[in-house]
Structure 1
Amino acid sequence: MALVTMRLRSAPLEDWLRDYYFTAEIDISSSGVHSYSMAELRALTGLEHAEIDGLVFDDGYSLGAPAVRSAIARRWGGLEPETVMTTSGSGEAISLVLMALLRPGDEVVVVQPGYHLLVEFAAGLGCSVRPWRLTAGTGWRPSLDELSGLVTEHTRAIIINFPQNPTGTSITEAELSTLLSLAASVDAYVLSDEAFTDLTYDSAPLPTVAARYERGVSFNTFSKAFGLPGLRFGWCIGPPALLAECVRIRDYTTLHVSPLVELLALGVLGNAEAFMKPRRELARANRDAVGDWAAAHPDLVSLVRPAGGVSAFPRLEGIADVDAFCDDLFKRRGTLVIPGSCFGAPEHIRLGFGGRPEPLAEGLGRLTRALEQARA
């Protein structure tokens, strides 16, 4: 395994949240659902204190505890446990796979606007990054014709995230099949961040890419649809040979996931719908509320209704400096949104609707008043 030298740019999203996240009075910025407490986790899983007390803090398995890997393999794709690696959030899984797979000069297709890890990490590894651009003018709809023009015989990987963060757009199962056929024609990998797969509203969830394509790698996490971001549990599903390369890198960093985290994760995996269903129903109602709000204020915002996830990406009409507006919204009205510049779309904001309905309604009201005042 060749060593790599990283040259990463700053992550504007994390820079923004680092300053504001913990002191916001109203947070309508998040891309996850309302978080569960430990008491709620224990109630939903049936986990007893005796099970926690019996845990011994030994070292863990490099690829994850066998029972946890089996539970993931059964639910997502019906594959063998050998194709699963558990990680500290999906961020670790994505970075390990990218470091194991990519070399300087490799061509990589990424979706923009997008989450910084999926967009910037390959560039930091010295890859030639080819943006697959989504535009508001087409309703953020991905164009497979455009993708076809980006893929060449030198393409090493196509990195996707559908439903997508921050726009909420997605593709159909038929379009996914076309994408996989395109990748297969040049022997490219497809790396699929599936954190929002279980948060869809108008169609069934997309299939696990790793189960559909031999060079497919699927990533997922408890941080989005499960409402457990602080647990820092994620995983990837992919070719065992690639996972072995990930372990070689991990041997120098985190080594393994905590046995306490995996104990809790096993209980959650065995009761997955109990965690996701109520949050999905809440998000569906909140999505309608955000859509109604945007429709009532066409002079202030324009919004493409998200197909999945819990974030919308409205354009703010008549606001010359959206970053300054968002800063003022936080400082004067205690309300947190994410400026679209964090995703390379400076006329937009990321607006999260996965939380409780009362703060969402209050936050939208404050946002409306700030927009009206700014345009007065």
Structure 2
Amino acid sequence: MNIPIFELERVQSLFENTVDYNLTESGFHPYTLNELLDKQQIDTLTNTVLGYGQTNGSIPLRKRISALYNGANEENVLVTNGSSEANFIACHTLLEKGDEVVMMVPNYMQIWGIAEEMGCIPKAFQLLEENNWKPDLEQLKKLVTSKTKMIALCNPNNPTGYTLTKEEMKEIITIAKSVDAWVYCDEVYRGAALDGNVRQSFMGMYDKVMVNGGLSKAYALPGLRLGWLVGPEKIIADTWAYHDYTSITAGIMSHYIGEIALQPAKRLEILNRNRTMLNENLKAVKEWLNQYGDLFEYTAPQSGGMLFIKYNLEINSTELAEWLRKEKSVFILAGDCYGMDYHFRIGIGERKDYILAGLERIKQALKERFDI
């Protein structure tokens, strides 16, 4: 097997359903259909013919998605089975063996693994923890070469919640143009800002930009497995060709529900619900962490459903996560999954009582093992 194990996803898949408290979820507590849809919409759903539908995404859904991006229309959109499939298709459309991919880290590391499997050369540029996770754009300038085919970003960032400023986005575009590279940005957390302002997309800033999005994170609808790619019309047509070889189409029920979720009023309702939850939970989690003084260090996220935390204990992050899971049935994501030991990630988009109950288990464990 040439492709490396995707450690972050594998470890979550193994354990997230086997514990009392799963604190690794990076999105928001999911909706039920009854919460999301009215009676007429549910009736329509239950009478939907379960055919294939349009393989690149229904026209109404692609129109809703394109409305989120300046200058886009439905021909700029491919609908996929989640944003993970979007990443896979984008890489196989834009990259060839031997190409360099310069990737923001820490990051959701799927693209790194895909690039390695394809025979590409992944290179990392850093978000700087000591600078509140601002990107090291001087490092990025030095890393790009004539062989750089893609600059891969995650904005808002997983796991730090850092969100690029407009000035940083413009500088990244300038760097990409200098070597004629694609800018590919995972924007699946766009819409999940704590201040409620939807940040600018990279789409439209440069003619070699492709972005992905989806309903799993900012929209709290992971069970739909609905994602998308947005980019130049010709390149999106090429991605459709790859999509025909992967999953062919997203489910027709997901098409229907996704189009409803992205209607302007419903979309605003969803984002407001999740932002309120995020702000309340972040306040509660910060209070919990701060009781320990300098044991935990963190920069509060600007967006997204997670908090990335540094801890000052002499224990490896994977060992810490496994110990908490086995001893207290609470699951955190080890920093090792991002190549950053002595860190862990917890989700802050769940129900507040659930999060605090999980943290209480951690408090008991710290008292028992470290007497703190």
If the length of structure 1 is used for normalisation, what is the TM-score?
A: 0.93
- Residue 273 of structure 1 deviates from its aligned partner by 1.3
Partner amino acid for 2:104?
A: V
- Residue 135 of structure 1 deviates from its aligned partner by 3.8
Residue matched to 1:209: 202
- 1:262-303: per-residue Cα shift (whole Å, max 9, x none)? 011111111211112111111011112222222221242111
- 1:93 counterpart = 2:86: yes
> Cα–Cα, structure 1 residues 113 and 49, in superposed 2: closer, same or farther, change >3 Å?
closer
- Residue 199 of structure 1 deviates from its aligned partner by 1.2
Partner amino acid for 1:282?
A: M
> Cα–Cα, structure 1 residues 129 and 47, in superposed 2: closer, same or farther, change >3 Å?
farther
Residue matched to 1:262: 255
Query: Residue 300 of structure 1 contacts residue 371 of structure 1 at CA under 8 Å; is this kept in 2?
Result: no
Query: Residue 348 of structure 2 contacts residue 355 of structure 2 at CA under 8 Å; is this kept in 1?
Result: yes
The answer to which of 134-143 and 278-287 deviates more is 134-143
- 2:125 and 2:311 map into 1 onto residues whose CA distance is 24
The answer to which of 195-204 and 17-26 deviates more is 195-204
- 1:162-207: per-residue Cα shift (whole Å, max 9, x none)? 1111111221111111111211222111111111111112584331
Specify every segment of 5 or more residues in structure 1 that has no aligned partner in the other structure, as ranges. 1-5
> Cα–Cα, structure 1 residues 319 and 264, in superposed 2: closer, same or farther, change >3 Å?
same
> Cα–Cα, structure 1 residues 73 and 363, in superposed 2: closer, same or farther, change >3 Å?
same
Partner amino acid for 1:34?
A: H
> Cα–Cα, structure 1 residues 338 and 188, in superposed 2: closer, same or farther, change >3 Å?
same
Say which of 325, 336, 339 aligns to 1:344.
339
Residue matched to 2:54: 61
Aligned residues: 369
Say which of 353, 364, 375 aligns to 2:370.
375
- 1:220 counterpart = 2:213: yes
- 1:220-256: per-residue Cα shift (whole Å, max 9, x none)? 1111011111110111100122122222222222111
Say which of 183, 189, 194 aligns to 1:196.
189
Residue matched to 1:102: 95
Q: How is 1:1-376 mapped onto 2 (pairs within 5 angstroms)?
A: 7-43=2-38, 47-202=40-195, 204-270=197-263, 271-376=266-371
- 1:145 and 1:350 map into 2 onto residues whose CA distance is 27
Partner amino acid for 1:255?
A: I
* Percent identity between the two aligned chains: 28
- 2:315 and 2:197 map into 1 onto residues whose CA distance is 39
Partner amino acid for 1:360?
A: I
- 2:214 and 2:277 map into 1 onto residues whose CA distance is 19
The answer to which of 32-41 and 316-325 deviates more is 316-325
- Residue 47 of structure 1 deviates from its aligned partner by 4.6
Q: What value does the CA root-mean-square deviation take over the aligned residues?
A: 1.7
- 1:118 and 1:309 map into 2 onto residues whose CA distance is 19
Query: Residue 27 of structure 1 contacts residue 359 of structure 1 at CA under 8 Å; is this kept in 2?
Result: no
Specify every segment of 5 or more residues in structure 2 that has no aligned partner in the other structure, as ranges. none
- 1:219 and 1:185 map into 2 onto residues whose CA distance is 23
